Structure 1
Amino acid sequence: MTSLPDWMRPPRAEGWFAEDLDRLPEAPRHTELIDGALVFMMSPQRWWHSHLVTMLTITLMQQCPPGIKIGREMTIRLDSRNRPEPDLLATDSPVDRDRTWLAPEDVLLAVEVVSPESAHRDRTVKLRKYAEAGIPHYWRIEDEDGRPVVHVYELDDGTGSYAPAGIFRGTLRRPVPFDIDLDLDQLVAGL
């Protein structure tokens, strides 16, 4: 067994902090920070997942009104010990092109496409953390026999947690965070 590279050793007993991610150039792409621990996407990404995220990004970019931007591969600095990286997000805030993260108040929508290795985090941990950070909309997309199924959540301001707003198959039409009309099956057509 080989020893861990120095960059994988936490710099302090309490683990990693959000700003540490920007000082780890050797870390693999898509490294997240959850509760002070580095989380790596170690297994190769499935074609279905990658294609769906790409097509969803393009489609939402075409539908979003001026002032709203759709992004990928950007972390959200929820607090000093959490910087998850959703598969896709929407923001209506000015974007600093050199910054590597967004604040939760800048995020309108966080989208996670569930992979076998991320299922627990996407279904429970991120659901709770995004709500606690005040992100108003969260979508969790599951693979159901090759077809995307979108579990939509909206933040309940009274409780500070997400309330289910629907499970969508085939078509997703939503008035928030902007007018959205998706043919979900078309996003993965031809796969």
Structure 2
Amino acid sequence: MSMPAPLYGGGYTVDDLEHIDLPGRFELIHGDIVMMPPAKSWHNEVQFLLRSVLTPVAREHGFRAVHEQGAILAEDTDPVPDLMIIDGAAYDHALHSYPAEAVAVVVEIESGNKRKDRIERPADYARAGIPWYWRIENVDDVPVIRAFRLDCGLYEPVGVYGKGDRLDLTEPFEIAFDIADIADITP
């Protein structure tokens, strides 16, 4: 596997990604190309079910739910969150990444790297001004959503929604669903 050197020395930029053809999934984090391991089945199932729940309501309000697309946070940072709700006017089927200003909600489904999902990513998303961050944790094979809203440059907790709960938010548009709708993880 070969990869071209960064065009301008130092780390890679978002523009360099157009010239890189790597197998598998990767993202650009502070100038470094980071390979992403395959997700576990639980992760993929929750991602699929959440996107299925959010897609119709997002479209109804002029937004789009997209997954496995990058969020351009800076010239050298283009992570790939598990799911994003973006402004529908920004949607383009030919894009692989969207600028932070087009992103209303970014969702990370916790993987093995809790530091990344609990500290690093939220800090990067907050610096970029993304209004909402949701982190989904696996608690005994049931998804628990922790919703955070950006306030004065930091994410403040809005609610925790787990087994038997209903997520009911009015921003960035009215979103309401039972956690059971994304927890149908049966063999």
Deviation for aligned residue 1:27 = 3.9
2:32 counterpart of 1:37: yes
The separation in 1 between residues aligned to 2:72 and 2:132, in whole angstroms, is 16
Match of 2:97 among 80, 101, 106: 101
Larger strand fraction of residues:
2
SS at match of 2:3: helix
Match of 1:60 among 54, 61, 72: 54
Aligned to 2:126: 131
Aligned to 1:74: 69
> Structure 1 counterpart of 2:161, which letter?
F
SS at match of 2:85: strand
Deviation for aligned residue 1:66 = 3.8
The separation in 1 between residues aligned to 2:122 and 2:148, in whole angstroms, is 9
The separation in 1 between residues aligned to 2:9 and 2:23, in whole angstroms, is 19
Match of 1:166 among 147, 159, 171: 159
Deviation for aligned residue 1:24 = 1.4
Deviation for aligned residue 1:96 = 2.5
CA contact (8 A) 1:89 1:107 kept: yes
SS at match of 1:173: strand
> Structure 1 counterpart of 2:46, which letter?
L
The separation in 2 between residues aligned to 1:124 and 1:22, in whole angstroms, is 29
> Structure 2 counterpart of 1:169, which letter?
G
Deviation for aligned residue 1:81 = 0.8
Deviation for aligned residue 1:173 = 1.2
Aligned to 1:115: 111
Aligned to 1:50: 44
Q: Deviations over 1:133-165 (max 9, x none)?
A: 010001000000101111111011xx2111111
Deviation for aligned residue 1:11 = 5.2
The separation in 2 between residues aligned to 1:143 and 1:36, in whole angstroms, is 30
CA contact (8 A) 1:34 1:83 kept: yes
Aligned to 1:83: 78
More divergent stretch after superposition (144-153 vs 85-94)? 85-94
Q: What stretches of structure 1 move > 4 A for 4+ residues in a row?
A: 8-13
Deviation for aligned residue 1:168 = 1.4
Gaps of 5+ in 2: none
Deviation for aligned residue 1:13 = 4.3
CA contact (8 A) 1:22 1:100 kept: no
> Structure 1 counterpart of 2:86, which letter?
T
The alignment covers a number of residue pairs equal to 182
Deviation for aligned residue 1:188 = 2.2
The separation in 2 between residues aligned to 1:84 and 1:144, in whole angstroms, is 25
Match of 1:14 among 10, 24, 39: 10
Aligned in 2, Cα 1:8/1:112: closer, same or farther, shift over 3 Å? Answer: farther
Taking only aligned residues, the RMSD between alpha carbons, in angstroms, comes to 1.7
2:139 counterpart of 1:144: yes
Deviation for aligned residue 1:113 = 0.3
